[in-house]
Structure 1
Amino acid sequence: MKKINSLSVLLGLGLLSSVTSVNAETQVQVIAPSASQSVASESIEVAPSKELVSSSDSATIRAINSQLNSSKAVAQNVTSVSQLSDVRPTDWAFTALQSLVERYGCIAGYPDSTYRGNQATSRYEFAAGLNACLDKINEIISAGLADKVSQEDLATLQKLQEEFAAELATLRGRVDALDAKTAKLEAQQFSTTTKLSGLAFFNVTGVSGNNAVRTPEATSTPTTRTPNITMSGLVWLTLNTSFTGKDSLVTQLAVGNGNSPFNAYTPLNSGFFNSTGVPFTDQTSGAAANTFVLRELSYTFPVFEKASLVVGPRVNFYKYFDGIRFIYPWNTSFNSINNTLLSNAKRGAGAVFMTPLGNQFDFKVGYLSESNEFGPGPSGTSAASPSSGLFGGNNALTAELGFKPSDAFKLRLLYSRTNLASFGGGLVGGVGFTPSLPGTVAGANNAQSDVFAANFDWLLSKGFGLFGRYGYSTTNINLAIGGSSNVVTQTFQVGAAFPDLFKEGALGMVSFGMPFNFTSGKSSLISGAGDGGTQYDLEFSYVLPVTKNISLVPSFYTIFNANNFSSNPTIFVGNLQAVFSF
């Protein structure tokens, strides 16, 4: 085979004329060795700056974009011509290609290790390749290796520069325009430190009707209620800001309009609103519907070598305590998202300290004073209120010890000391704000609870897991007339999970629980004790990922002995949820 100058093969053969394409045999994929050249070989979606590229060049730039965007594959570096599976030693340009790879590094192949020499090229693609090889040879000369470049190759390059001067100028102007546009975007972007993410939930919920149900109040009488099917929405918008790369400032806004049908059987004044039979995301997100609230505001930063500290006026308890790997906000109810006796400050003002203890243990301790989005606000028992403050309202000091002998199993032991402030003229307790005492007591000054809890989750195989919880609370109530009374409550939940059920990324779950059973002190309660019956909840849910960002979640709940009244009928709840993440 006749020896042919390598650069002539790549850059000269048939292209010194003014034609706009070359013979397929001369097609070469080239690699851009610098950042600027890499930018030049990609599609530009924004219009070039008029100051840097004249309007007469716009058609040329569009043509360049059209040509460079026609190939879907991304070129890959090669260090030897033997890496190109469709190039053979008998090919007429084999020696030239081999020289280009070994001497100049201007050749690239496709991801499937092919060279595709039969593809045609355009003058614009050729100009981009020429620009890349010019830069590579300049690098060689700048490195003091000018003797590695032959005079014949330099002469060829000079001719090609003259022939393709217009295309090269357009390419460089395009890069300059892109640099200017990038600088402008960086100067005007939302933030260099903050990332926005969000979750949106659509809920359609129905409950079996025509039920003569007694509500949780001790004086209630069976009343027939027929709640209609509802459709509601909830949105959480989270701004996550990092100043050092190791810290995190979380600002979360929420808005919703849900009032789930089962709330017809647990009215607000009963103390059990948004508990039994209510999907966790079927809520208003605040005291009023369709009103934005500050759901979370906290700052996490490292302390010591491996520990971290979370501080803020609104820290989310669920993120740090009593977690179970299979339970998410969108596949569970208010009664099942965490232990029903935890915590009196589901979002509170304070701090949480977290640290590993060796390879298998971890420890968390936190103090949170009630400051949640459903609370009465600055004038009530909130950490932001001067009347209660950080230490005078509902608050909880919680500690958790975790044991994780393997990635498949984790056990958590918790203790929480809680203080309960009175509200509404001497009332203490209620699921909403003081779950350590789910029932309500009248004529009280305040109360204190000791809560002991444990949970575990265990992934026995890739497609099957178990989980469970138990909680025990004893509450001492200081009465306004003097003296005190004591209420003891317990709760449990057991369940099974089925990861990747029917589809990768899906999750099936079934759980059975007793949300609150008062074992002593029932006579002190004006709400929650029922008639001696014990409520049980049976829940089924299935998370079906439709796309990477959209899931459908059907759920079905069965409530036995609702509100601890054995005389209440069994109630059924159905929910279909669409979850959008971004």
Structure 2
Amino acid sequence: MHKFLLQVLPIASVILACHAVDSYRASAETNAVEVSSKQTLASMNYDREAKLLLPPDRSDRHATNRTSIEPETDLATTPRVEIPEAASGDSMAQVTSVSQLSDVQPTDWAFQALQSLVERYGCIAGYPDSTYRGSRALTRYEFAAGLNACLDRINELIATASADTVKQEDADTLQKLQTEFAAELSALRGRVDALEAATAELEANQFSTTTKLSALVWANVTGAFADGDVQFESVDLFPPAAFGGVVARRGGRDAVTGRPVVQELTDDPEITFSDLIWLNFDTSFNGRDSLKVRLVAGNADSPANQFTSAGLYNTYGVPFFDQTAGIQGLGNDVVIHELYYSFPVGDNLEIAFGPRINWYRLFDYNAFTFILTGANSFNSNGGTLVNAIDRGSGAVITWKPSKQLQLTAGYIGENTEFLSSTIAPGFNTSSDPRFGLFGGTYTATAELTYSPSQNFNLRLLYNRTRIQAIGGVIGGATGEPIYGIADNGGSAVFDPVTGLVADGGLDAGLADTYGVNFDWLLTPGIGFFGRYTYAKTNLVPGDGEIEAQAMQAGVAFPDLGKEGALLTISYVRPFAILDGRDFLVAGGGNGGVQYEFEANYYFPLTDNIALVPAFYLIANPNNFSDNPTIYVGNLRAQFSF
């Protein structure tokens, strides 16, 4: 036995803590009362109500350094003893007996008595054959730890069984052992009290409010060129200064033909080198909730934007991180990208709410189009038609009833960092009293995710959107599922003399969008992914209607060339018009269907630095079947810390 105790109980106080805390809790749960050692051990006429055989000093869990309950000694008059250094770690206290310094030998009666109790009552689990072996002495504190374990075990037997479970002679033996080792038991009890107090303090203050800061920094080199002159639908060859001096083109109709005004870009844009920075502040108040704040700044305007029709800014061939982040033309201004609070309700439900929720953080996720590592152009990282709002005010509820199913639903009113109501009333409607949370542009979304395994995810999405008209037209930055600009079919007429576009005659658009999205890791080295979206937009007032579809199909090669790397190759149709082309002032083209091939290779150099080359081929750009092909190349350096 002593060999086992030497192995298992070298730190006697720690072991005693485990037994002592359990015994204390058991005694509290049974409403037991304390009795003296003589009453408990000297005879078997123990208290039938308490049904407990108590180790020393269980009467006051907050008291320290008490002695054991001596025979015929009242608790109120129990004297204190000093704790020897071996037990407490403090300076050596005075001892009054040589026996207090003696080890317990295998030949001592105490050793043999405790061994007999252990084997009879199973106080301590020993070797696999339930025996205790060895030939080395135990210190008195190691021995006291074993004795305390036996006291706990016999208390348990008495509390749960009949009185004859514990024999009279064993009770007498325990009484003698408890008396002889009273000082050691008391000393260890003091250490347990201190440990309990420390544990209670930790439990009461187990979490303090903490904010974690992380950052992502990107440097982008981007170039774009075409095989010839590119047609695009816009009244502006170069955008007006009122929109920041960047490519925020306007759509309009020719006053004579009523057809959309078409321009041509004859010169390729220059190569650009730009930056984007995200600062993420993640605060938790109780360890399970999260207050997320993201500040961003950037100065990019991708060269590919020079080729786009009105309403298609930051769409095809534009890497997601090749952007300004804030209002175009105000490069490197710091803006709030995200601000929301989330918390769990039980084990399966989570609620997020705030003035600026990132819709794409909570919906339409795909493992192989994740913006940091996967296919990450604006047309690839999310469904092109699914949502008119990137970020906004509202709430999202996520319910996960099982490992295989997740249901996410939310309502968000548009409130986006790259738009401003000072540019045009109708942007950022949720914070504008003229429109409010329920009167401007908003989206209500429900998504069901089915994951039969860790390697396959299928998502079904429905979106109901109201799109606020600006200048009588809808589309552009808050126009999905419209890719381009739409009016009532003829009112948005351009006056070349004044440079103004007449009101397009619309108040709003009401859209229903249905999407399916999957990712499938077939083997560790190859995966497949795809999306399909169908959308119908009703133009208000009137009975105008635009139907469109979008699709994406791709293949992914995880860990290609290096662990953590990812190569994705995909085919994308961002906006194929099925019906209602006549309502489009821009984006309809001449009836062609734009399609794209994209390749993206994420290559981590270290845990914090990655290089990401990407290539984009855009055929039939702007839905003109006779437009030349556009090629876009991007090299991104990504730093995370």
Query: Normalized against structure 2, the TM-score is what?
Result: 0.61
Q: Which residue of 2 aligns with 1:374?
A: 418
Q: Which moved more, 1:324-333 or 1:225-234?
A: 324-333
Task: Show the counterpart of 2:108.
Answer: none
Instruction: Note if contact 2:426-2:469 (Cα within 8 Å) is conserved in structure 1.
Output: no
In structure 2, how many angstroms separate the alpha carbons of the residues matched to 1:250 and 1:214? 43
Counterpart in the other structure of 2:634: 575
2:402 to 344, 358, 362: 358
Please tell me whether residue 279 in structure 1 is matched to residue 356 in structure 2. Answer: no
CA–CA distance in structure 1, aligned partners of residues 215 and 474 of structure 2: 36
Letter in 1 for 2:582: S
TM superposition shift of 1:456: 0.3
The AA in structure 2 aligned to 1:195 is: K
Classify 1:571/1:146 alpha carbon distance in 2 versus 1 (closer, same or farther; 3 Å): farther
Task: Specify the code of the residue in structure 2 equivalent to 1:476.
Answer: N
Q: Which residue of 2 aligns with 1:428?
A: 474
Partners of 1:342 and 1:414 in 2: CA distance: 8
Report the counterpart of residue 147 of structure 1 in structure 2.
Answer: 102
- Aligned with residue 449 of structure 2, among 402, 416, 421: 402
- Judged with a 3 Å threshold, the aligned counterparts in structure 2 of structure 1 residues 220 and 359 are, in CA distance, closer, same or farther, namely same
Cross-structure match for 1:326: 368
Correspondence for 1:75 = none
Question: 1:215 aligns to what SS in structure 2?
Answer: strand
Q: Which residue of 1 aligns with 2:263?
A: 221
Contact 1:307 1:354 in 2 (8 A): yes
Give 1:469's match in structure 2, choosing from 514, 531, 534.
531
- Look up the SS of the partner of 1:323 in the other structure: coil
Deviation at 1:567, TM superposition (A): 1.1
SS in 2 for 1:373: coil
Report if aligned partners of 1:209, 1:227 keep a CA contact under 8 Å in 2.
Answer: no
1:242 maps to: 284
Q: Does 1:387 align with 2:434?
A: yes
Aligned to 1:12: none
CA contact (8 A) 2:233 2:263 kept: no
Q: Distance in 1 between matches of 2:299 and 2:12?
A: 55
Change in 2 beyond 3 A, CA 1:308/1:224: same
Q: Name the CA shift for 1:146/1:300 in 2 (closer, same or farther; >3 Å).
A: farther
Find the counterpart in structure 2 of residue 42 from structure 1. none
Q: Secondary structure at the match of 2:593?
A: coil
The CA deviation string for residues 514-546 of structure 1, in whole angstroms up to 9 with x for no partner, is 000111000011000000110001000101100
Question: 1:7 is matched with which residue?
Answer: none
Q: Deviations over 1:253-293 (max 9, x none)?
A: 000000000111126xx011111110000000011211000
Q: Distance in 1 between matches of 2:608 and 2:279?
A: 15
Instruction: Find the residue that maps to 1:449 and give its secondary structure.
Output: strand
1:516 is the counterpart of 2:575: yes
Aligned to 2:605, which of 546, 551, 558? 546
Amino acid at match of 1:455: N
- Note the C-alpha offset of 1:328: 2.4
CA distance in structure 1 between the aligned counterparts of 2:393 and 2:209, rounded to whole angstroms? 28
Please give the alpha-carbon distance, in whole angstroms, between the structure 1 residues aligned to 2:597 and 2:103.
Answer: 78
Deviation at 1:137, TM superposition (A): 8.7
State the partner residue of 2:458: 411
Where do 1:188-337 residues align within 5 Å? 192-209=209-226, 211-217=228-234, 218-266=260-308, 270-287=310-327, 288-330=330-372, 331=374, 332-337=376-381
Is this contact kept in 2: 1:318–1:338, CA < 8 A?
A: yes
The 1:326/1:136 distance shift into structure 2, 3 A limit, reads farther
Tell me which residue corresponds to 2:550.
Answer: 491
What does residue 460 of structure 1 align with? 522
Residue type of the partner of 1:215?
Answer: F
**Other-structure match for 1:138:** 89
- Work out whether residues 381 and 387 of structure 1, in 8 Å CA contact, stay in contact via their aligned partners in 2: no
Paired residue for 1:450?
A: 512
Secondary structure, aligned partner of 1:262: helix
CA-CA distance at 1:421 after TM superposition: 0.6
CA distance in 2, matches of 1:525, 1:359: 44
Q: Tell me, yes or no, if the aligned pair for 1:33 and 1:135 is still in contact at 8 Å.
A: no
The DSSP-based 3-state class of the residue aligned with 1:271 is coil
Which of 598, 619, 631 is residue 560 of structure 1 equivalent to? Answer: 619
Q: 1:137 to 1:385 in 2, by over 3 A?
A: closer
* C-alpha RMSD of matched pairs (Å): 2.7
> What does 1:150-165 correspond to in 2, within 5 Å?
none
Q: Partners of 1:541 and 1:573 in 2: how far apart?
A: 12
Query: Is contact 2:282–2:290 with CA below 8 Å preserved after alignment?
Result: yes
Q: Distance in 1 between matches of 2:562 and 2:214?
A: 25
In 1, Cα distance between the equivalents of 2:367 and 2:100?
60
Q: Are the counterparts in 1 of residues 265 and 307 from structure 2 also a CA contact under 8 Å?
A: no
Contact 1:216 1:272 in 2 (8 A): no
Corresponding letter in the other structure for 2:586: S
Which one of the candidate residues 527, 530, 540 is aligned to 2:586?
Answer: 527
The one-letter amino acid paired with 2:267 is: R
| Distance across 2 between alignment mates of 1:302 and 1:32 | 40
Deviation of residue 208 (structure 1)?
1.6
TM-score by length of 1: 0.67
Q: Secondary structure at the match of 1:426?
A: coil
Rounded Cα–Cα distance in structure 2 between residues aligned with 1:402 and 1:252: 27
Give the match's secondary structure for 2:89: helix
Contact preservation (8 Å) 1:381, 1:388: no
Shift, 1:473, TM fit: 0.4
What amino acid does structure 1 have at the position aligned with 2:567? G
Counterpart CA distance in 2 for 1:201 and 1:224 is 30
- Displacement of 1:349: 0.4
- Matched letter for residue 323 of structure 1: Y
One-letter code aligned to 1:138: G
**One-letter code aligned to 1:197:** S
Offset, 1:359: 3.0
Q: Could you tell me how far apart the structure 1 residues matched to 2:281 and 2:482 are?
A: 34
8 A Cα contact 2:278 2:294, kept in partner: yes
Of 471, 478, 486, the match for 2:540: 478
Distance in 1 between the 2:103 and 2:391 partners?
69
Q: Deviations over 1:15-40 (max 9, x none)?
A: xxxxxxxxxxxxxxxx9999xxxxxx
How far 1:140 sits from its partner (Å)? 12
Q: CA deviation at 1:215?
A: 1.3
Q: How far, CA to CA, are the matches of 1:222 and 1:410 in structure 2?
A: 43
SS in structure 2 of the partner of residue 234 of structure 1 = strand
**Residues 324-373 of structure 1: CA deviation (Å, up to 9, x unaligned):** 01122244101111000121111110000001122311100010111011
Alpha-carbon separation, structure 2, partners of 1:263 and 1:563:
11
Indicate the SS of the match to 1:392. Answer: coil
Q: Percent identity?
A: 44
Which letter maps to 1:289?
G
Deviations 1:291-318 (A, max 9, x none): 0000000100012442000000000111
Q: Which amino acid aligns with 1:272?
A: L
